[in-house]
Amino acid sequence: MGICRSKVSLEGKVVLITGGNKGMGLETSIALLRRGAKVIIGCRSTQNVENEIRNIIPDADVHVKKLDLSSTKSVREFADKIKSSFEVIDILINNAGMLTDKKKETEDGFELTIATNYICHALLNHLLLDLVKRAGQLSSDCSRIILVSDLAAADKRIASDFCNPRSDNKSYNINFGVQSMDNQYPKSKLAQIMYGKHLATLLEDENCNTIVASCHPGFVRTDAVQGFDPGVKRNMFIYTGYVVGKTALQGAQTTIHLALSKFDELSLKKENGKLFSDCRPQEKCLFWSLMPKYIEDPVACKTVWEETMQMLNI
Ligand SMILES: NC(=O)c1ccc[n+]([C@@H]2O[C@H](COP(=O)([O-])OP(=O)(O)OC[C@H]3O[C@@H](n4cnc5c(N)ncnc54)[C@H](OP(=O)(O)O)[C@@H]3O)[C@@H](O)[C@H]2O)c1
């Protein structure tokens, strides 16, 4: 199990994390606050979060703001508030996520899982990208966008649901699953990893001092399955989590590692766009080899990006 032992100080750094109010997001927030960062948490349930964190770290520089990642309107309002209060974001962490077995459409016409885990995060990154780029320009340390993903994206069943193999001009079925709601969560994470790869390429082409990295926390005991109806599937996740799952703090280690790591010019180029787990790149591991082959194809990643931007009217 990867453990981040870095003692790097984050004094003067601004971190924005989605879903930093509980589970792995909370552990990540606490770890970065302890290292002196100013941490902005975007979450739905804002009540008492600042007080609870200050009970643990009395002088925590923490700011909790309302954000519902199932709504593009909420994301735009949140981004406007951030832009009016902060000039840079050194570390932007796309952490919030959920699973559900119920098919639900958001007010924007997206399936709820895809909207929350992927599409609205892509909008948030887009709206805040200038602040992240500026942080990289003003510091010798690269700024970073960290995407908390999942190797569940390697689920073979979703490969054909996601990509339309019949079309010469391949298109991706990003929004609703054609086969099953079970495909929506892994699909959201597959889209997120491919989006991250293309975003890394774009930033590299612009010579930005910014890295994009995805990470897989492992199987972690959190409330992640609370969107499932009570029953066998939900219980199976919960009980298996107690037997073999990591704690939220253990699961947060790779995110913390990516937030604290030093990247020089060479390592930034080498690691940009990669997926990490257990505090190291994972693109040679068994699970990675189970991913659909098109995840390595820059054209496929660009197509996923472009279709996402079209869906967001950007
Ligand atoms: N647990 C695992 O085994 C595992 C494995 C691989 C990857 N992951 C990923 O790790 C990340 C963190 O999950 P976790 O396991 O720590 O689960 P968690 O404890 O349930 O935390 C999920 C976070 O997402 C937030 N969230 C959910 N829907 C939201 C919305 N519409 N708007 C704003 N925030 C929302 C939740 O906040 P609210 O209080 O507003 O609900 C909560 O802070 C997720 O991206 C998940 O997919 C988890």
pLDDT tens figures, 277-293: 999 998 877 778 888 88
CA distance 311 to 237: 32
Q: Which CATH number is 14-308's, of 3.40.50.300, 3.40.50.720, 3.40.50.2020, 3.40.50.150?
A: 3.40.50.720
**Residue 300 alpha carbon to ligand 1 centre in Å:** 27
Strand partners, 275: 214
Summarize pLDDT for 223-258 with one digit per residue, the tens: 888 888 877 878 888 888 888 899 999 999 999 999
What pTM did the predictor assign?
0.96
pLDDT band at residue 179, thresholds of 50, 70 and 90? low
For residues 286 and 176, the model is more confident at: 286
Atom 6 (ligand 1) nearest CA: 150
Give the E-state strand segments of 73-197 in sequence order: 91-94, 143-148
Cα first-last separation, the chain: 40
pLDDT, tens digit, 9 for 90 and up, residues 102-119: 889 999 999 999 999 999
Tell me, yes or no, if 239 is annotated catalytic: no
Domain boundaries, the chain: 14-308
The pLDDT-based confidence of 166 (bands split at 50, 70, 90) is very low
Who lines ligand 1 at CB under 6 A? 18-19, 21-25, 43-45, 67-70, 95-98, 116, 148, 150, 217, 219-220, 222-224, 248
Reported as a pLDDT band with limits 50, 70 and 90, residue 181 is: confident
Pairwise pLDDT comparison (128 vs 100), residue with the higher score: 128
CA distance linking residue 247 with residue 222, whole number of Å: 8
**Strands 61-66 and 210-216, bridge-based pairing:** unpaired
